[in-house]
Amino acid sequence: MAKLTNKTALVTGSSRGIGRATAQRLAAEGALVAVHYASNDDAARETVELIEKDGGRAFTVRAELGVPGDVHELFLGLERGLKERTGATTLDIVVNNAAVTTPAGVLPEDVTPEEFERLFAVNAKAPFFIVQRALALLRDGGRIINISSGLTRCANPDQVAYSMTKGAVEQITLHFARHLAPRGITVNSVAPGITNNGGPVFDIPEAVEQMAQLSAFKRVGEAVDVADVVTFLATHEARWITGAFIDASGGTLLG
């Protein structure tokens, strides 16, 4: 029997990559999924089509995060979509997945204030206000899953500003876990290592081979490797886990 029947879920940034795989897995367990994205309409529609082809239910919600009014726009679309399909705006699962990264090879000396602010606006501020806004919709016993990164546990100077935003995401997890425990809502962080998100670098065999060496399993992660962990945290079986940092990096952090 599907584990998320009659549940509703918001997955930010689910037009592609880990978010798409997560939306697919949650829908496969019976959840109605809001597929959020910034601008790639075709990719978001494709996520919904893939879900529907598998017998699941999903709809798209477009809202660019990191700009004024972002979370309000997201929730207008989310509430409209939920209401049309369920007659209510109740939400059970929030996955804060959307994020932007620093381009490779940017030294700490070269990070600009504008780039720093953009990273924090999308990766840290938006997830905080998404959680804040979701509180009124979330059913008791709900789930919040924040996608962090293994980079909060190992140094990579090129990604210092990005990693700082993920440190902030883990603080959202810690403090909201305590705040929401009386309602039986769990809040956890999932930290992927290098994960194939369909980006161009994953088409270069030499680059993939090099990245694979970082994992204890000597391969790069697939989006579904992370999506399965997120989906488990969304189920009833994960009810006793809250405030946790879950390493979903394929052993990258073992050193």
Task: Please tell me whether residue 240 adopts helix, strand or coil conformation.
Answer: coil
| Residue closer to ligand NDP (CB basis): 79 or 90 | 79
Question: Which residue matches tokens 């000597």?
Answer: 218
Catalytic residue among 37, 59, 128, 162: 162
Cβ proximity to ligand NDP, 41 vs 54, nearer residue: 41
Residues that bind ligand NDP (CB under 6 A): 13-19, 37-40, 43, 64-66, 97-100, 122, 147, 149, 192, 194-195, 197
Q: Which is nearer to ligand NDP, 77 or 243 (CB)?
A: 77
DSSP reduced 3-state for 183: helix
Q: From residue 210, how far is each of 103, 196, 201, 215 by CA, in Å?
A: 18, 13, 11, 10
Beta carbon of residue 63, minimum distance to ligand NDP (angstroms, whole number): 6
C-beta closer to ligand NDP: residue 100 or 135? 100
Dihedral, CA of residue 69, residue 97, residue 190 and residue 103, to nearest 10: -100
Q: How far apart are CA 14 and CA 18, in angstroms?
A: 7
Nearest residue to 12 (alpha-carbon basis) of 76, 94, 86 = 94
DSSP code for 124: I
Write the burial class of residue 50 (CB in 10 Å: 0-12 exposed, 13-18 middle, 19+ buried): middle
The nearest distance, CB 209 to ligand NDP, in angstroms, is 16
Nearest distance from C-beta of residue 26 to ligand NDP, angstroms: 15
**Least distance to ligand NDP from the beta carbon of 183, Å?**
25
Instruction: Clarify whether 162 is annotated catalytic.
Output: yes
In angstroms, rounded to a whole number, what is the distance separating the alpha carbons of residues 185 and 136?
12
Q: How far is the CB of 195 from ligand NDP (least distance, A)?
A: 4
- The residue among 162, 144, 125, 94 whose CA lies nearest residue 244 is 144
Q: Rounded to whole angstroms, how far apart are CA atoms 16 and 202?
A: 14
State which residue, 9 or 98, has the beta carbon closest to ligand NDP.
98
* Active-site residue list: 162
